[in-house]
Amino acid sequence: MPLFDLVIRNGRVATGSDEFLADIGIKDGHITALGEIPSKGTREIDATDKLVLPGGVDAHCHLDQPSGDGIKMADDFVTGPRSAAFGGTTTILPFACQEKGQSLRAAVTDYHARAAGKSVIDFAFHLIVTDPTAQVIGQELPALIRDGYTSFKIYMTYDDLKLNDRQILDVLDLARREDALTMIHAENADCISWLTDKLVQEGHTAPKYHAQARPPLVEREATQRAIALAELIDVPMLVVHVSGPEAIEQIRNAQSRGLKIFGETCPQYLFMTMDDLDLDGFEGAKHICSPPPRDASSQKQVWNALLNDTLKIFSSDHAPFRYEGGDGKKHAGELASFEHVPNGIPGLETRLPLLFSEGVVSGRMSLNRFVRLTATNPAKLYGLYPRKGTIAIGSDADLAIWDPQKEVTIRNEDLHHAVDYTPYEGRIVTGWPETVLSRGEIIIQDGHLHAASGRGEFLRCAAPMTADL
């Protein structure tokens, strides 16, 4: 009986800190040997001239999340995880969103029902807390944290989601008591609604005005306020989808004062600008997300913040709405005012290839930094490390074997999500994950899916490893 179910030979292995030539031996879904492996496995993969990286951990994506008003997310727990896998991601953390008035436990039960038997890769849930009642703070959240839901997102904007500062303090205080992580969407709601009303009254309703309704200062102010609230409670916090230098400056300043404030950014802030909101006709709606993409100089500063460790996590913020049809970007009509266009863009499958190409291949960032940003750091922050996010003895054999030279033109027709567009249509990238393994099983090879929906397991997260980041 061979010692290994699978041996990956001669690959250039990279983790968040090391890079070396090695064979990888896999048994029962785990990595059991690393180095020169003399014995043959039941199966073998030749990875000569290839990179073997930890499968990506995408710690911010929205799947099958009810959005109200006849709006429907295009991706569910079949298509979203499948698309992620084709892009080299083997773990995702979507959200279980509480509706105001709903119990959090009921929300979690609902999302488990949505996910049951569907995902091809492993997944955990963040919670979205929209109604932090005494019952939620005192009983439901502590119990859910113990059950492995150790992170929750809260919003400072969107009428049906936002919390006021007092409620934010309650959530942060609970996070400190129970050793959980709060993720915050930082934009000033009143400024946005005031600016939106003014723009609409003036007849400025085209998609490009989305960026004017949410200028950098509304993100800066909210980021600064959120940091002050976390400082008051003395608790770590992650600012999600940071779009530009104004918010980055607040985070950097907090970090330089010794606060455990973390920052996440997303492809849209490196690869899109506000000019994309001004495409012909209604096309700009394809790029509407919040915070909005900024200008070219902001993009540079987001790159810098990834390179100088101010921002530690790179997630897709996949929020999948179709362009055509009546349940996505155009649900309020062909030329609806920007404030009625659902916010969010797709990106699960393109997240890693975009950053690999423009980061690693272009020479901007080391391979180790790429791995840290896209796999190791999110696994640590969300309590999944070292099971996920690295290549080490005992870790799950979640691996992506990359052809670092493969040139790919991104075309929506080649992607595997259920959205009818990608904002990156026509962009050429170098490097693509060709073979993807989840717990030792080859799930993607030769451009095909080789695994069944539903094989993915639900992951219970441990406490965030913030000391290590």
* Residue closer to ligand URP, measured from CB, 290 or 376: 290
In the bound complex, what is the minimum distance in angstroms from residue 153's beta carbon to ligand URP?
8
Interaction pattern, residues 210-239, with Zn ion; x per rule: CB under 5 A? ------------------------------
- Quick check: 185 binds Zn ion (CB under 5 A)? yes
In the bound complex, what is the minimum distance in angstroms from residue 155's beta carbon to Zn ion?
6
89-92 and 43-46: which strand pairing?
Answer: unpaired
d(CA 30, CA 5): 10
Which one of ligand URP, Zn ion, none is in contact with 289 (Cβ closer than 5 to 8 A by kind)?
A: ligand URP
Q: Please confirm whether the linkage preceding 291 is cis (ω < 30° from 0).
A: yes
- Left, alpha or beta for 118 (phi > 0: left; psi -120 to 50: alpha)? alpha
Interface positions, 427-466, toward ligand URP (CB under 6 A) = none
Single out the residue of 219, 221, 317, 398 in contact with ligand URP (rule: CB under 6 A): 317
19-27 and 30-35: which strand pairing?
Answer: antiparallel
* Residue closer to ligand URP, measured from CB, 216 or 344: 344
* Residue closer to ligand URP, measured from CB, 154 or 360: 154
In the bound complex, what is the minimum distance in angstroms from residue 35's beta carbon to ligand URP?
42
Which one of ligand URP, Zn ion, none is in contact with 343 (Cβ closer than 5 to 8 A by kind)?
A: ligand URP
d(CA 57, CA 316): 10
- Left, alpha or beta for 453 (phi > 0: left; psi -120 to 50: alpha)? beta
Interaction pattern, residues 290-309, with ligand URP; x per rule: CB under 6 A? x-------------------
Interaction pattern, residues 220-249, with ligand URP; x per rule: CB under 6 A? ---------------------x--------
- Quick check: 187 binds ligand URP (CB under 6 A)? no
Which one of Zn ion, ligand URP, none is in contact with 57 (Cβ closer than 5 to 8 A by kind)?
A: none
* Residue closer to ligand URP, measured from CB, 337 or 343: 343
* Residue closer to ligand URP, measured from CB, 31 or 240: 240
What tokens does 428 get?
């050429």
Burial 62-92 (b: 16+ CB within 10 A, else e): bbbbebeeebbbbbbbbbbbbbbbbbbbbbb
d(CA 187, CA 250): 13
Single out the residue of 299, 343, 377, 438 in contact with ligand URP (rule: CB under 6 A): 343
What letter would DSSP give residue 398?
A: -
Confirm if 160 and 65 have CB atoms less than 8 A apart. no
With CB atoms as reference, the residue minimizing the distance to Zn ion is 185
Interface positions, 260-289, toward ligand URP (CB under 6 A) = 289
d(CA 97, CA 185): 14
Confirm if 191 and 161 have CB atoms less than 8 A apart. no
**Nearest residue to 398 via CA among 375, 422, 431:** 375
Binding site for ligand URP (CB under 6 A): 62, 185, 241, 289-290, 317, 319, 343-344
Binding site for Zn ion (CB under 5 A): 185, 317
